[in-house]
Amino acid sequence: MDEMLTTRQVAKYLNVNEKMIYSLIAEKGLPASKVTGKWLFPLELVRQWVENGTRNFPEQAKLPPYHGLVLISGANDLLLDTLICTFNLKHSEHMALFGLTGSMGGLKALRKNQCHIAGCRSADEHSNTGFPFMDKEIVQAMAVVNLCHREQGLIIQKDNPLGISSVKDLSRKDLTMVNRRLGTGSRQLLDRELKRFDIDGESINGYENCVSRHMDAGLAILNGKAHAAPGIRSVANLLGLDFISLYWERFDLFVNKDSFFDQGVQLFLSMLKGKVIQRTADELGGYDLSMTGKMVYPETGNDDEQ
């Protein structure tokens, strides 16, 4: 288990006042978890958070010359899963491999030249431009192509037998939730919503019970192990569960600029304008593909360009 820091220790580590730590949790996504009424900070995730905010990041070793493997890391998504499977079936001389690391881990892997593509949540409230959760200089070192907009919220039991209507209900004693792991966009956004309602995560049954994937969260609801979980509508629809919408978020593919024109990377990006992703989005629901395949950064002024 990663070393855990107290509020005082993480303040010393970051060289800031202890009071500033609470603002960093709420406003800057500092990885934190509340246990028995006290905040704890996984040191490895805090290091990742610092690295992802670092400007003038030192140059890392380059990826080896392209030899048929497209390495993808970051947050998971059902559309992304479908594209990876389709790519591997369609292009026998290439293979796409995915490492589940969460949005934060995906950016770290990309900056360390450990992958070609990182799938990351970039903005919420259906924002079409900008990267409000990332440092501008970090984005400038990458090419960014939109995968989709997707609907985030709470996955709940079919027919909502407990009458859950909002995040506020998670504090009810008759409810049990399952959470997403630190470093994921869903966890960060849930914590932001809890703070908005002045709800202490420790007061929620199951808050510390964390899973890695959206599908794992949905299966916990389907199997009756929990009543609610943060997740995406497409998973709820696929499993026949109900869903409470909270917001739309933009999900982008961050691409290593040095590898952008590698054959396998271009073949993968070309599928963003294909029939498979459109058909899958239509079947699952909870997706908007109006920007899919658009170069978000650098801006080209042409929505049809990759």
- What is the per-residue pLDDT across 159-203, written as a single tens digit (0 to 9) for each? 999 999 999 999 999 999 999 987 777 888 888 889 889 898 888
How much is the pLDDT for 151? 95
d(CA 122, CA 189) in angstroms, rounded, equals 12
8-22, 50-64, 253-267, 283-297: least confident range = 50-64
- Mean pLDDT, to the nearest integer, of 235-254? 95
Angle at Cα 147 formed by Cα 141 and Cα 153, nearest 5°? 110
Of 59 and 231, more confident: 231
Residue 283 above 90 pLDDT?
A: yes
User: Who's near 8: CB < 8 A, 6+ residues apart?
Assistant: 18
Q: Has residue 265 got a pLDDT over 90?
A: yes
CATH class of 4-52: mainly alpha
Q: Is the pLDDT of residue 142 over 60?
A: yes
Reported as a pLDDT band with limits 50, 70 and 90, residue 137 is low
Residue 109 near residue 73 (C-beta atoms within 8 A)? yes
Mean pLDDT of 105-132: 78
Beta strands in 43-116 (DSSP E): 69-74, 95-100
- Residues 254, 106: contact at Cβ < 8 Å? yes
Q: Is the pLDDT of residue 302 over 70?
A: no
Same fold, 4-52 and 69-148+250-297: no
The span from the CA of 261 to the CA of 212, in Å, is 31
Q: How many residues does the chain have?
A: 306
Superfamily of domain 152-248: Periplasmic binding protein-like II (3.40.190.10)
Spell out the alpha helix ranges (H) of 91-213. Answer: 102-111, 136-140, 185-196
Please provide the average confidence, as pLDDT, over all residues in the chain: 87
Q: Is the pTM of this model over 0.95?
A: no
CB-based burial, 30-42: b 16+ in 10 Å, e otherwise: bbbbbeeeebbbb
> What confidence score (pLDDT) does residue 58 get?
54
Class of domain 69-148+250-297: alpha beta
Q: Average pLDDT of 225-244?
A: 97
Residue 189 is encoded by which pair of tokens?
A: 């956004």
**Domain locations in the chain as residue ranges:** 4-52, 69-148+250-297, 152-248
Q: Which region among 14-23, 32-41, 220-229, 268-277 has the lowest average model confidence (pLDDT)?
A: 32-41
